[in-house]
Structure 1
Amino acid sequence: MNIRPVSDLRNRYAEIERDVAEKGPVFLTKNGYGSMVVMSIDQFERLSGTVEDALDAADRQAATTSQRYTHDEVFSSIRRGLRDEPAAAAM
């Protein structure tokens, strides 16, 4: 993870640009706290495209069934997945 002070964006722009291109996103801090993330347009499009693709797939799947899940069911499943726990049999 590449973390730098936000002042580097002004003072070392070319270096930040090179780091983003070569190493990925740069996390900028202000007064010791996270302030922003700088990434290339390609990195952003891959990230947002992945989300858009998943949402489109969910819309297509929802159109094929009347089954719906509650907010708690969905987010519980996501949390289990993030913890690498086996999914519940009901979902």
Structure 2
Amino acid sequence: MKIKPSAAIRKNYNEIATLCKESGEPVYLTKNGEGDLVIMDIGVFEKRERMLNLREQLVAVEEDRINGKKGYSIDEATSCMQKAVQEVLNDKS
């Protein structure tokens, strides 16, 4: 965990940006000794968001399964994935 005073972002933006990119970790900014903001590399943030969205979807699917909602067989899921991949490939052509 990297912690910097909030004034550091104004004075040392490039240094902090480099720190975020090289470490892949968020940098916590403080104001008057208290936590104020968190900054991070945009690529790391986007990956984190994708992971959180996937986790939410998996939780929703698990809740549906527990509540008895009908799911898909492995063959049905495989067929859907193959169709989706084919559509993507066709769109690139």
Q: TM-score, normalised by structure 2?
A: 0.65
Which is higher, the Rg of structure 1 or of structure 2? Answer: 2
* Aligned AA (1:44): F
Structure 1 residue ranges (4+ consecutive) displaced by more than 3 angstroms after TM superposition: none
- More helix per residue: 2
Q: Secondary structure at the match of 2:22?
A: helix
Matched with 1:83 is: none
- Matched residues in 2 for 1:18 and 1:49: separation? 23
Percentage identity across paired residues of the two chains: 31
Matched with 2:53 is: 52
Size of the aligned set, in residue pairs, is 67
Alignment RMSD: 1.4
- Matched residues in 1 for 2:49 and 2:4: separation? 24
Q: TM-score, normalised by structure 1?
A: 0.66
State the Cα deviation string for residues 56-85 of structure 1 (Å, max 9, x = none). 112222233326xxxxxxxxxxxxxxxxxx
